[in-house]
Every structure is written in structure tokens, then in C-alpha cells.
Amino acid sequence: MELSALQIIWFALLAVLWIGYLTLEGFGFGTGMLLKILPRNEKERRLALNTIGPHWDGNEVFLLTAGGATFAAFPEWYATMFSGMYLALVAILICLIIRISAIEWRGKISSDSWRNLWDNLHLGVAWVVTLIWGVAFANLVQGTKIQVGHYTELGGQFVPADPAAIDAALAAGDRHFLTGGFVSLFTPFTLVGGVVFVLLFLTHGALWLAIKTKGDFSERAIALAKKLSLASTGLTAIWAVWGQFAYRGQAWGFIPLVLAAVALIASTLVIQKGKDVQAFLFSFAGLAFAVVWVFSTFGANALKSSVDPAYDLTLVQASATSPTQTVMLIAAIVFVPIVLGYTAWSYKSFAGRLGVEHISDEPAGLDPKKVRAFANA
């Protein structure tokens, strides 16, 4: 069956949502990964966190919406991916909960040990989540060990369908399953993809801190971004070319691939000259085009099979009904502009640069010795 206009629109909308999440939370996670590397003292750590404070929770809306839209527009895609990558996705969920707690709770108690605990947790989960996202998206490019079939009632043995008769098997009740298990998600290509995401987010975070702060802190962020950008751009280029040629990349995928390369190279060049704002904008564009390239590798598929192309989960097979997608599209037309509007407004409202002089010398939080006595109430 041919893809319908609604299916193409929703596939494109999902790409837009992931662009929003990865470009915006990219610098949020990058800031978290640098929390104990770039800042030299408590005031500088508070300064770094204040740069993402007004934005991080709004950025998470893109992730929630992407998950919900996948569930409603392509339920079979959602079911196959979430069941097959269950452990990884649960790990991401736990890490995101810890990150929220670290951001919100570190300033509640005036204690160095309390703040260090949450800062270390924030640092750790930022690295872990970024790595997992990289491995996950690399699996979407490479393809996973997906097969069509069913499990026997006695013994739970998987019985794969005949690759030459997939339509008949699906009609008979067979489904797509990730049969390779959790370990199959880790290959040389996907592990490199995880490192690529780490380097890209570190660079993006350093550039964000450079444009959102001033003085010595901003200069140190620029100096770090100069080094990181060289490594992230070089490794990203190798990984993307590898994926384009090795894993059924579409011919038109060279367009976003080249645009991503141009943007990342431009970011690397201009940051060497100390032009932090331009470098951040180029980095933003590079990440956006990189996401477009990832989605271009799907072709007409939601999930590619590394076992046999006949086992691919196509967008048509994964799709919800046309009435469902029509109702969702009406809602998207109303609410997506609102989300984009308040996101743009929030960034415009907090567009200024911060310095350590804006951070109070008074320690934040309650006296830990008096908390239980409610003496601070």
C-alpha cells in the first residue's frame, strides 16, 4: 500500500517534535554534563543552572508530545519500539526523574553535601541519557533485529513468519517483535552514535553557556567549545557517512546530511574566532538537519529490520486509522503553534546574559539543622 498524505504529514510532524526536543534539550543536557567541569565554585554552578532554569521543563514538552503523537498516529511503531527497547526507555525515564529532582531540590537545603549530591546525580544522568539517546537513534538508522511472527502458547518459543508471505502472516495475527533482545541494540555503529550525541550535546551546551553568560565564565565556555567542536564535527561526519552508505540511506538523505555538515563546520569555524552567538545558531541548525537526516534513513519504514528487509515495520503497517489521524491533525493545527509561540516567547523573555554578580552571596535553602523543627517557616 502507498503512504497516504496524512501518514506523511504525521511522520514529518514527529520529525519536527524530535528536532525541537534534541536541539533545545541538547544544550540542557550539555549544561548538565559540564556542571562539574566548567564551573569552578558554587556560584558558577548556580549560574550555569540559572541559564537553563526557565527553559528545561518547557523543552520536555516536545518529548512528551513526540511520545504521545507516536502512540496515537503510529500505534504499532510505539508498541514495537517500546516493548523492544523497554529497559533503555525505563532507564531514560528514571534518569529524567532524577534530573528533575536535582534541578528543583538542590537549592532547598543550605548544605554543601546536599548540593553536591544532587549535582553529581545531575551530572551522571545527563551523561547517561545523552548516551542512551545516541544509541537509540543509531539503532533507528542501522535497523534492529525485528522479525514478524508469534510466540507459542507452550514454551513461549518465537516462530518467525515466512519473509515471502509477510502480508498473510500479519493478516493471520502475527506481529513485529524485537527478537534480538536488549544486547542486540549495542553494535559498533550504535556505540559510536552514542559518543556522537555526547560530543554534540557537550559542544551545544558549552556554546549555550557562552552566549548566556558573560565575563570569565563565558570566555572559558568559548575556549572549551573550540576544542569540543573540532571533535564533535569530525566524529559526526564519519558516523553519518557510515550510516548513509551502510544502512540503506535514501538518496535524498544526502541533502540534510550535507546541510548538517555545512552547519557544524560553520559553527566550528566561527567559534574559533570567538563568535559565540553565530556558532550556537549554526550548532542549532546542524543538530536540526542531523535529525532530518536520521528520519531520512527510514524511507517508508517506521522501524527497519537488520534480519531481513521483508520484516521492516512500514509506516502503513504501523499507522492508525485515517479518522484518528485527521482528528489529531486538527488538534495539532491548533496547539502546535501555541507551543512554538510560548517557547519562542520564553526564550525572548530570558534573552539576556548572566554573570556571577547576579548570583547572591547568600547560600540558598533552609538551614539543615532546623528543617525538621520548622524554624524556617
- For residue 271, the number of C-alpha atoms closer than 13 Å in the C-beta half-sphere is 33
What is the per-residue pLDDT for 249? 83
**Is the pLDDT at 116 greater than 90, yes or no?**
yes
- For 57, 118, 212, the CA distances from 287, given in Å and listed in that order, are 20, 29, 19
C-alpha cell at 328: 489529531
Bridge partners (DSSP) listed for residue 345: none
What is the per-residue pLDDT for 317? 95
C-alpha cell at 33: 554534563
Which of 15-19, 111-115, 229-233 is predicted least confidently?
Answer: 111-115
Domains of the chain (ranges plus CATH)?
Answer: 5-145+180-327 (1.20.1630.10)
Reduce the secondary structure of the chain to three states and give it as a string.
CCCCHHHHHHHHHHHHHHHHHHHHHHHHHHHHHCCCCCCCCHHHHHHHHHHHCCCHHHHHHHHHHHHHHHHHHCHHHHHHHHHHCHHHHHHHHHHHHHHHHHHHHCCCECCHHHHHHHHHHHHHHHHHHHHHHHHHHHHHHHCECEEEEEECCCCCCEEECCHHHHHHHHHCCCEEEECCCHHHHCCHHHHHHHHHHHHHHHHHHHHHHHHHECCHHHHHHHHHHHHHHHHHHHHHHHHHHHHHHHCCCCHHHHHHHHHHHHHHHHHHHHHHCCCHHHHHHHHHHHHHHHHHHHHHCCCCEEECECCCHHHCEEHHHHCCCHHHHHHHHHHHHHHHHHHHHHHHHHHHHCCCCECHHHCCCCCCCECCCCCCCCCCC
**Is the pLDDT at 145 greater than 90, yes or no?**
yes
**Is the pLDDT at 26 greater than 70, yes or no?**
yes
Q: What is the mean pLDDT of residues 337-361?
A: 89
Q: Is 354 exposed, middle or buried (0-12, 13-18, 19+ CB in 10 A)?
A: buried
Q: What is the mean pLDDT of residues 118-123?
A: 96
**Is the pLDDT at 373 greater than 90, yes or no?**
no
What is the per-residue pLDDT for 170? 93
Portion of the chain with pLDDT greater than 70, in percent: 98
What is the per-residue pLDDT for 371? 72
Work out the pLDDT band at 332, boundaries 50, 70, 90.
very high
> CB 345: neighbour CB atoms within 10 A?
10
Please, are residues 192 and 182 in contact by the beta-carbon 8 Å criterion?
A: no
**Is the pLDDT at 375 greater than 60, yes or no?**
no
Cell 538551614, residue located? 367
Q: What is the mean pLDDT of residues 7-30?
A: 96
Average pLDDT, the chain: 93
Bridge partners (DSSP) listed for residue 158: 151
Work out the pLDDT band at 55, boundaries 50, 70, 90.
very high
Nearest to 225 by CA among 238, 214, 211, 236: 211
Rounded-to-integer distance, Cα 40 and Cα 320, Å:
52
Residues 6+ apart with CB under 8 A from 359: 43, 46, 47, 50
**Is the pLDDT at 91 greater than 90, yes or no?**
yes
pTM metric for this prediction: 0.93
**Is the pLDDT at 18 greater than 90, yes or no?**
yes
Query: Which is more confidently placed, 85 or 226?
Result: 226
Q: What is the mean pLDDT of residues 82-98?
A: 92
C-alpha cell at 62: 516536545
Q: What is the mean pLDDT of residues 236-250?
A: 93
C-alpha of 299 from chain center: 21
**Is the pLDDT at 339 greater than 90, yes or no?**
no
Query: Which is more confidently placed, 367 or 276?
Result: 276
Residues 6+ apart with CB under 8 A from 340: 20
Report strand pairing: 313-314 vs 175-178: unpaired
Length of the chain equals: 377
Portion of the chain with pLDDT greater than 90, in percent: 82
Tell me the per-residue pLDDT of 161-207, one tens digit each, with 9 for 90 and over. 999 999 999 999 999 999 988 899 999 999 999 999 999 999 999 99
Q: What is the mean pLDDT of residues 135-144?
A: 95
**Is the pLDDT at 267 greater than 90, yes or no?**
yes
Rounded-to-integer distance, Cα 13 and Cα 178, Å:
25
Work out the pLDDT band at 336, boundaries 50, 70, 90.
confident
Tell me the per-residue pLDDT of 277-316, one tens digit each, with 9 for 90 and over. 999 999 999 999 999 999 999 999 999 999 999 999 999 9
Rounded-to-integer distance, Cα 233 and Cα 259, Å:
13
